Structure 1
């Protein structure tokens, strides 16, 4: 359901639904996209970096990087386009994090799983030890 919100770009009040900006800013974004796309579609500009595209088209770098992140511009077709890793800020062309951050995250998850398994085994061992300590044995002193 739509709810009133202020546009994050211009501050104007609008009804927020699937769109996160007001209609005027959405049109401006679409015009910026068309400008960038026309520029990089030309053969000599296909390998242009985000900075070069920004200078040539006067579209902000963050906006171009957002187009790449939203997959409106594909790095497969334009190999110099990239955006920032959400964790460390390194430039990447797909996903949300760079390879090193992904590896670090996976390593952390694996360590957590190992710790959890170790805690489980430790708890089971303590239960077993408690059961053994509750066992009583009788000794017959007179039996030879």
Structure 2
């Protein structure tokens, strides 16, 4: 049994598999989810942006993002809702990075790996080209 402090209210609670907050905060989050879902479910609000949803429902953006990241709120039917890219903040539908930042990260990692390989080869070549001289005075 794991006991943690609730990140919202700091009260102690027993961590349950799918809950990262205490029961009271979980119930509050559920009420907030119901507000958001009721708002975006209306046909006239399906194209609302994240800022519009926040302004109209009063629910914090971080909580809406949590609903999206956990899969509780599926945004495939809501074209203007998304989560921010972890690097540049661009609006994305899933994952942590947008396509451009993901490509940039892959390029940087490949360059790092190539540099590591080059340095390893240089170190290997240095060992091949090391010569030892006999000390004439000792022997």
* Same fold? TM cut 0.5: yes
**Mapping 1:22-37, distance limit 5 Å:** 22-37=22-37
C-alpha distance in structure 2 between counterparts of 1:124 and 1:44, whole Å = 67
Q: Which has the larger radius of gyration?
A: 1
Which residue of 1 is the match for residue 137 of structure 2? Answer: none
Q: Deviations over 1:62-118 (max 9, x none)?
A: 211221222222232111111222233333221101223212211111011111221
TM-score, normalised via structure 2 length: 0.81
Which residue of 2 is the match for residue 142 of structure 1? Answer: none
Are the aligned partners of 1:50 and 1:65 in contact in 2 as well (CA < 8 Å)? no
Which residue of 2 is the match for residue 125 of structure 1? Answer: 125
Residues 1:39 and 2:39 aligned together: yes
Q: Which moved more, 1:21-30 or 1:101-110?
A: 101-110
Aligned residues: 131
TM-score, normalised via structure 1 length: 0.78
Are the aligned partners of 1:66 and 1:83 in contact in 2 as well (CA < 8 Å)? no
Structure 1: tracts of 5 or more residues without a match:
135-144
Structure 2: tracts of 5 or more residues without a match:
133-139
Which residue of 1 is the match for residue 55 of structure 2? Answer: 55
Which residue of 1 is the match for residue 90 of structure 2? Answer: 90
Residues 1:13 and 2:15 aligned together: no
Greater than 4 Å deviation, 4+ residue runs: none
